[in-house]
Structure 1
Amino acid sequence: MEFRMFGQVEVRSEGRSLDVGTPRQQAVLAALVVDARRPVAIGTLIDRVWDHAPPADPRAVLYSHLSRIRRLLEQAAAPAGATAVRVERRHAGYVLDVDPESVDLHRFRRLVDQGEDPRRDDEDRAAALAEALGLWRGSPLAGLPGEWAAQVRDSWDRRRLDAVVQWARLELRLGRPGSVLTALPDLAAEHPLVEPLEALLMSALHATGRGAEALDRYTAVRQRLADELGADPGPELRAAHQAVLRGEPQNSAVSATHRADDEPSAPEDSAPETPHVPEAPGWLRRRTVLVALIAVGLLASIGSVLAFQRDEDTPPSVERAHELFATARELDQEGRGEDARAALVDAVRLYGELVELDPERNAPPLAPAIIEALRTAGVDFSVTRDVLLTWLANPAFTPYPAISQVLLLQGWRFTDPVFLDVIVWNYEQAPGMTSPRAAADVEPEVLKTAVVAGSNSRHGTSGTDFERLLES
């Protein structure tokens, strides 16, 4: 005999599902099954079944339901010739004397306990959690009314989420990100504000070489948290984001997201000296006067730059863009700074047009030229070159091509280098900002502020004047 509490209440015998009666009778049975082999007081049973509106004689109605349940259990045992599961009256209440292993809810609990046991190896733990999750057919006691049934559903829904998160961490640690990508997206869509699910999906995408999608996912969830909760991403989600930005190996990313829940953040004075992507800086959280002052000013100039119109007699081509980038480099090497910047602007304008025409075809071959141009301008990166090439090759999924265009179109050259990935991260953290996919969507003044914060973080400074960062 098998009792199923996940989904609709069900009793099965010999492969057949039996009629468990009305919703009230199902509620009485569920109230006993959830506390299998433990006495449930009569008053508790009444409260679980009828909340605060019991019938005129609730004990008499309860006894009637219990009588029908006993007959149901006898009917379930008959085909197999087994001893019927019994509902016994004890001094403390009623007890359903059933083996917990015949109840999906209790098997789930046992398997999850095994999956969380640190004495077991990861493979055994992942297998136990997978078996537990395989029992899930839907929220417990589906269709049953009342506060108690709702509380049971909420409690076990949370336990399921915890089990999924633990399972996914183990799968990633075991080098199986594909299983995570198969199992988690639907659940994440069902629970769009559960950050650990999003963090694990980002780690799985990163582990399968889909870093651009991981970053796009972070942008979406960050905006969702801001819109619906007025909150910033928590430490686990930020850790996953930073791991992708840095191009860290899969296991490092998983460890980072796992530690974020359990360990306090390191104090600022203990931060490593090696290049890193900072957490959301205070200047962004406070929205200081600087942001307000910077929020107006360069829109006219950027508008004129982005209003570039191609000569219709010269069809755009990747080859022509490469020629313009090469010309800009040669002029720069000859010391002809102004001419070099003018040639670079033409190259970037053409690059933007090519990306708009056919991003999948035109962005990848021009990504190395963009990196070289950024280096000349004093913009480098703390992630690997391969990772950055991937981001620049995917303008539909990452903000890197758009922000790179604006950095180059402005003709800025920085005295001390600033990391591109940090600039982008800071830009996306600015209040009210969305992740841009076109140069026209980039707010230049907010970008300036992001550059200032990135420079301060990298060089240990605390300035607020953007102009001081530029070559004279």
Structure 2
Amino acid sequence: MDFRLLGEIEVRSAGRSLDVGTPRQQVVLAALLVDARRPIALETLVDRVWGHDPPANARPVLYAHLSRIRGLLRQTAAPGGGAAARMERRHAGYVLDIDPELVDLHRFRRLVERSADRRYDDEARVAVLAEALGLWRGEPLAGLSGAWAERVRESCHRRRLDAAVWWAQAEFRLGRPAAVISLVPDLAAEYPLAEPLECVLIQALHAAGRGAEALDRYGVVRRRLAEELGTDPGAELRTVYQTVLRKGPPRSAGAGAAPRTVGPGPLRPWAGASPSVVARHRPDPLPAGDAESVGAPSGTGTRAPARTAAPRPGSTGTPSPPEAPPGHPDGAATDPPSGRSRVRTTRRRVLLAVLVTVVLPAATGTAHVLRREAEERDESDAPQVSVERARELFAAAEAFDEAGRERDARAAVMDAVRLWDELIGLDPDRDAPALAPAVLRALGRAGVDFSVPRPALLGWLGNPVHTPYPAISQAILSRGWRFTAPVLLDAVVWNYEHTPGVTSPRDVADVRTDVLKAAVLENTRTRHGTRVTEFDRLLRP
């Protein structure tokens, strides 16, 4: 059997396509497939199907859809008595009990995640990413409407763009610019403001001896950014342009060059707002609801939204400390040594070039210094460099804040949050403990404190798989909220998770603004006894 979401909803069994029903029924089926093997509360299903305005008879209609989906799943049994997919009703909600590998969306995410394995060389990485990109048949959840379906589509497009950039970069490093030139233009047409795609395409054109086309391509992109966003190309794209303009040697790895073994890292596919399918990315700032704005891509390392035990309210009206998630430190965070050999090289990955050239906005005036430092480092040290850059960003935000430069402080926090999100997605055990203290200081400046022991909180902030603390903290920091009176982070998380019909978020894109605001309001009422009903009244002017 095969369940397909990357295009029109389709269920195939024994070589035939089954009837998936009406669009509304397809939304219910898609909601179950996206969270395969995880329970979904009935209220969550209602929210995914109808949003915040369900009809009065939402539950009976939903039960009817679920009944028809059960009938559909019975048809997935293999000829000769093979097991069919099953839907069960458990205490926590409805569960679609199938192997996630049978769902193209989950296969796609797994392949993109696998491509980040540093043990892969570029040949293996190209093959894995090509397989992932080949799963796309069109617009994800095509024909389905609603806010939830749109969020899923946007998440899929972000991951697809990440995969496309990494694939093109790997092909280019392998000395195959023709492969990049043949496929990237079509992708760039779908994502016209994705600068990393344009960077690798311009490099490929130059390496193929088509320098005039490369320069023309840059001019087209520059005009597009100016007309649509009122901004100039980013630092990396400008550097590529200068290289082509000087008619310097192509940056291709060249035929016969040894394949490079560095996996994809956190990039910045968008320099500004993107087209409708990818316009909302990392919060800069986030609009109402779950939308994201422009920034670093989702990266790899899909986070399983497994629910963990939440804090319980104590006698003071605030949650008592929950147990620390398994596998995470309860002590002070330290940077583990790399343990890898340091072999200097003259060519830097696009990852480092992007990170260090945009680490601090123009206000800091230090981009060229950071870039030169990165060029002196070995590529195997890239994750550690990224951790150091994230620390620098948080420190810069603190310095700007103390100097009264609120706009610069917010910009630095935004970039720090994006990089933090990417690092804990790639390797939370290694990267998160080193950043957690800086995150706590940033939360403190925003008026967010906590009542649980600091070592436990450090662990929770680095565990996006088991706790919602990273996602909720990122949402608060990226929105630039600064509270007039301290709010307890653990109480806010507890209030959020216990809101009826809400799924505990494991990604900042899943944090619902309305629920988060209500959770903060409830905390101020229980902790300070306020009667404030408007969230904006809690914020500093």
What range describes the TM-score normalised by the shorter chain of this pair? 0.5 to 0.7
Which has the higher relative contact order, 1 or 2, with Cα contacts under 8 A spaced 6 or more apart? Answer: 2
SS at match of 1:249: coil
Equivalences for 1:334-413 in 2 at 5 Å?
Answer: none
Output aligned runs, 1:254-273, within 5 Å.
255=348, 257-264=350-357
Q: Which residue of 2 aligns with 1:276?
A: none
The Cα offsets for residues 126-172 of structure 1, whole Å up to 9 and x where unpaired, read as 11111000001112111101000011001111110011001110110
Match in the other structure for 1:230: 230
Query: Which contiguous aligned blocks of 4+ residues in structure 1 show a shift greater than 6 angstroms?
Result: 269-272
3-state SS of 2:76 partner: helix
Q: Which residue matches 2:384? A: none
Decide whether aligned partners of structure 1 residues 134 and 108 sit closer, same or farther in structure 2, where only a CA change above 3 A counts: same
Q: Structure 1 residues 146 and 80 mapped into 2: Cα distance closer, same or farther (>3 Å)?
A: farther
Map of 1:198 onto structure 2: 198
Distance change (3 Å), C-alpha of 1:271 and 1:168: closer
The residue identity in structure 1 corresponding to 2:252 is N
* Residue identity opposite 1:144 in structure 2: L
User: Do structure 1's residue 81 and structure 2's residue 81 form an aligned pair?
Assistant: yes
Cα distance in structure 2, aligned partners of 1:32 and 1:269: 49
1:18 aligned residue:
18
Distance 1:270 1:149, change over 3 A: closer
Aligned pair count reads 272
Separation in structure 2 between the aligned mates of residue 98 and residue 270 of structure 1, nearest angstrom: 48
Q: Which amino acid aligns with 2:15?
A: G
SS of match in other structure, 1:251:
coil
Native 8 Å contact 2:89 2:95 kept in 1: yes
Take 1:27 and 1:269, find their aligned partners in 2: how far apart are those partners?
50
Alignment of 1:438-457 (within 5 A): none
Give the TM-score taking structure 2 as reference length: 0.48
- 1:155-210: CA deviation from partner (whole Å, max 9, x where unpaired): 11111001100111011011111111111111111221111111111011111111
Superposition CA RMSD, Å: 2.0
Q: Relative to 1, partners in 2 of residues 1:220 and 1:83: Cα closer, same or farther, differing over 3 Å?
A: same
User: Bigger shift: 161-170 or 257-266?
Assistant: 257-266
The CA deviation at 1:269 is 7.4
AA at the equivalent of 1:35:
D
Name the CA distance, whole Å, in 2 between partners of 1:76 and 1:23.
20
Q: Which residue of 1 aligns with 2:138?
A: 138
C-alpha change, 1:268 and 1:13, in structure 2 (3 Å) is closer
- The one-letter code sitting in structure 1 at the alignment partner of 2:102 is S
Shift of the 35–257 alpha-carbon distance from structure 1 to 2, 3 Å rule, reads same
Residue-by-residue CA offset, 1:360-409 (whole Å, 9 max, x unaligned): xxxxxxxxxxxxxxxxxxxxxxxxxxxxxxxxxxxxxxxxxxxxxxxxxx
Q: Which amino acid aligns with 1:181?
A: I
Segment of structure 1 superposing worse, 113-122 or 252-261: 252-261
User: Residue 7 of structure 2 aligns to a residue in which SS?
Assistant: coil
**Inter-partner Cα distance in structure 2 for 1:118 and 1:5:** 29
Structure 1: distance between partners of 2:120 and 2:371: 34
1:214, 1:37 → 2: CA distance?
48
Partner of 1:147: 147
CA positional deviation for 1:228: 1.1
CA 1:149–1:267 in structure 2 vs 1: closer, same or farther (change >3 Å)? closer
Give the aligned residue type for 2:64. S
- Does the 8 A contact of 1:243 with 1:256 survive in 2? no
Q: Distance in 1 between matches of 2:227 and 2:82?
A: 57
Q: Structure 2: which amino acid aligns with 1:218?
A: Y
- Overall identity of the aligned pairs, in %: 65
Deviation at 1:220, TM superposition (A): 1.0
Partner of 1:251 in structure 2? 252
Cα displacement (A) at 1:249: 2.7
Question: 2:114 aligns to what?
Answer: 114
* Superposed counterparts of 1:268-279, under 5 Å: none
Shift of 1:267: 5.4
Taking the aligned partners of 2:142 and 2:370, their CA distance within structure 1 comes to 50
Cα distance change, pair 269–58 in 1 and its aligned pair in 2 (3 A): closer
Separation in 2, partners of 1:126, 1:257: 16
TM normalised by structure 1 equals: 0.55
How far the C-alpha of 1:270 sits from its partner, in A, is 9.2
Query: What displacement does 1:76 show?
Result: 2.2
Q: Does residue 1:52 correspond to 2:52, yes or no?
A: yes
Structure 1: gaps of 5 or more residues: 273-472
Q: How many angstroms apart in 2 are the aligned matches of 1:146 and 1:258?
A: 35
Comparing 52-61 with 126-135, greater Cα deviation is found at 52-61
Distance 1:201 1:254 in 2: 18
| Aligned twin of 1:216 | 216
